[in-house]
């Protein structure tokens, strides 16, 4: 019994340690240029789209994983809730984007079946405009080993 407990405890500590070691903050100089470009495009689209339909049509090329349905369009739940919230509140964030923090996670993934892809996840916090109350918000983007980086979650606190 005691041996089993110690074995399980050791396994848990090893597993937890390896997971935590994969995520760390990095300086902006280590953010790949194509990831920064996708972040910038996302905020620009949100701030310049004429309406939510226009935003959804334009962002689908930047979206990946669970944000898209199997047809390659913005998922209806994402459209009605998350994207709508981002579209409404993007005006409170600086453009060009001002990055305040970056967290990198190695070997991450998003999506299911046809939308599944793997790569390095960058969670990038962006600053609000001068005089706007509130904390910076994170935008998670995954950069696959091959192919373009994709936004995999809408803005964190919008």
| Residue 107 falls inside a structural domain | yes
State how many domains the chain has.
Answer: 1
| Residue 19 falls inside a structural domain | no
Chain centre to alpha carbon of residue 17: 23
| Residue 27 falls inside a structural domain | no
Question: Can you give the residue range of the structural domain that contains 38?
Answer: 32-151
| Residue 156 falls inside a structural domain | no
Q: What is the pLDDT of residue 63?
A: 94
Q: What is the pLDDT of residue 111?
A: 85
Whole-model pTM: value is 0.82
| Residue 130 falls inside a structural domain | yes
Q: What is the pLDDT along the chain (158 residues), one digit of tens a residue?
A: 555 544 444 444 444 444 444 789 999 999 999 999 999 999 999 999 999 999 999 999 999 999 999 899 999 999 999 999 999 999 999 999 999 999 999 988 888 887 888 999 999 999 999 999 999 989 999 999 888 999 988 775 54
Chain centre to alpha carbon of residue 46: 15
Check if the beta carbon of residue 122 is closer than 8 Å to that of residue 141: yes
| Residue 127 falls inside a structural domain | yes
| Residue 9 falls inside a structural domain | no
Check if the beta carbon of residue 87 is closer than 8 Å to that of residue 42: no
- Supply the DSSP symbol for 129: P
| Residue 6 falls inside a structural domain | no
């Amino acid at each position: 019994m005691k041996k089993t407990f110690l074995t399980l405890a050791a396994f848990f500590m090893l597993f937890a340690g390896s997971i935590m070691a994969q995520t760390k903050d990095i300086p902006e100089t280590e953010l790949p240029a194509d990831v920064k470009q996708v972040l910038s495009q996302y905020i620009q689209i949100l701030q310049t789209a004429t309406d939510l339909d226009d935003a959804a049509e334009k962002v689908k090329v930047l979206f990946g994983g669970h944000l898209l349905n199997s047809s390659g369009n913005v998922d209806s739940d994402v459209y009605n809730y998350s994207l709508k919230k981002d579209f409404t509140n993007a005006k409170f964030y600086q453009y060009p984007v001002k990055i305040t923090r970056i967290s990198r996670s190695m070997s991450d993934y998003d999506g299911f079946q046809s939308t599944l892809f793997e790569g390095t996840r960058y969670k990038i916090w962006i600053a609000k405009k001068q005089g706007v109350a509130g904390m910076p918000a994170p935008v998670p983007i995954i950069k696959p080993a091959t192919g373009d980086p994709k936004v995999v979650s809408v803005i964190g606190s919008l």
